[in-house]
Amino acid sequence: MLPGGQQNRPSDGPPPSQNIQTLKPAVSFLTNNVPPSQYLYLQENDYLQIVIITNVGAQGLIGRYRFLTPQGEIKEGTFNQPTLTAGGFTVLVVPLSEGWLLSVNLNTTNIVAAGQWTFAQMQITRSPTFTGNVFGTFWSGYVYFSASTGWPGIPSKEVYDGTGVLRSVTGTTPGVGAEISETVPNGRRWNLISLSASLTTSAVVANRTPMLILDDGANTFFECPSFNNQAASLSLRYSISQNQPTAAPVTGVVMLGLPGPVSLKSGFRIRTSTPGLQAGDQWTAPQYLVQEWGAWLFPSGE
Note the pLDDT tens digit of each residue in 109-148: 887 776 788 888 899 988 777 766 788 888 888 888 777 7
In total, the chain counts a number of residues equal to: 302
**Which pLDDT value is given to residue 98?**
85
Looking at the chain, the whole-number percentage of residues with pLDDT higher than 70 is 79
pLDDT of 19 > 60? The answer is no
**Which pLDDT value is given to residue 274?**
95
What is the CA 4 to chain-centroid distance, rounded?
A: 36
Q: Residue ranges of the domains in the chain? A: 3-151, 165-294
pLDDT in tens, 215-232: 999 999 999 888 889 999
Closest CA to 274 of 217, 201, 204: 201
pLDDT of 162 > 90? The answer is no
Task: Specify whether the CB–CB gap between 47 and 94 falls below 8 A.
Answer: yes
Strand, helix or coil for residue 136: strand
**Cα distance between residue 107 and residue 120, in whole Å:** 10
pTM of the model: 0.61
- CA dihedral sign, ordered 157, 158, 164, 168: positive
pLDDT in tens, 132-142: 678 888 888 88
**Cα distance between residue 75 and residue 65, in whole Å:** 8
Task: Specify whether the CB–CB gap between 64 and 80 falls below 8 A.
Answer: no
**Which pLDDT value is given to residue 11?**
42
Determine how many CB atoms are found less than 10 A away from the CB of residue 68.
20
* Best-predicted range by mean pLDDT (10-19, 243-252, 278-287): 278-287
**Cα distance between residue 134 and residue 131, in whole Å:** 8
**Cα distance between residue 111 and residue 99, in whole Å:** 34
pLDDT in tens, 25-65: 566 666 666 655 566 888 888 889 998 888 877 788 889 99
CATH second-level architecture of 165-294?
A: Sandwich (2.60)
**Cα distance between residue 31 and residue 33, in whole Å:** 7
